[in-house]
Amino acid sequence: MAVLQHELTLGEAADLLSRALPGHRVEILQGRLTVTPPPDGSHALSLTWLVEAFAGAGARKAGLRYVQGIGLWLPTLADDFSIPDFSVVDEDFRDALVQKNCYAPNVFRLVVEVTSSNWSDDLGPKVECYAEAGVPVYIVADRKHDEVLLYQDPVKGKYDAPERYKRGQSIPVPESVGVTLDLSVDTLLDGD
């Protein structure tokens, strides 16, 4: 009897893991497969608060949508994609579907990550990948180091050093996003 062996591509392995681990976030960053467990309560509350904040700021009237957990196709390597915690995207983002529920980077105005057990991905590879993809604004609620980082306006695929915000401060959402809004560091870190 002949046994056929098939070596999985990274994309196929990601698909298998997504099906085998419901609730986990499977991403490919710089050719590396990453799996993140479901978020904790504070993480989830931070994202709910972001939805409310952008709704209150009139993001929909400004022609924007705010979404959680949609894929961002990355230009770094052929199979690379991420699933940001929260994104502000153009109203017609669904027209920019690439594949696997991932959308082209040009429709993303802002990406927010709230760190979990994989905090080093949010502070390392994702900074590089989002800059290379041209994401105009990347905010990291770094719960590991108790601060929020704001990266913006990448040039030649790189962000300058981030602006750092501590507890008690607010982060002004850059004008390039398309709404006027200040985000509380404490709420980003802790939820409401």
What percentage of residues in the chain have a pLDDT greater than 90? 73
Per DSSP, the three-state class of 91 is: coil
Give CB contacts under 8 A, 24+ apart, made by 35-39.
36/116, 36/117, 36/118, 36/121, 37/116, 37/117, 39/85, 39/114, 39/116
Q: Could you tell me which residues are beta bridge partners of residue 73?
A: 81
End-to-end alpha carbon distance in the chain? 61
Burial of 97 (0-12, 13-18, 19+ CB in 10 A): middle
Report the distance separating Cα 84 and Cα 31, nearest Å.
17
Q: What is the pTM of this model?
A: 0.92
pLDDT tier at 10 (50, 70, 90 boundaries)? confident
- 132-188 residue pLDDT tens: 999 999 999 999 999 999 999 999 999 999 999 999 999 999 999 999 999 999 999
Does the structure show a pLDDT above 80 at 3?
no
pLDDT 10s digits, 96-131: 999 888 999 999 999 999 998 889 899 999 999 999
61: pLDDT confidence band, cut at 50, 70 and 90? very high
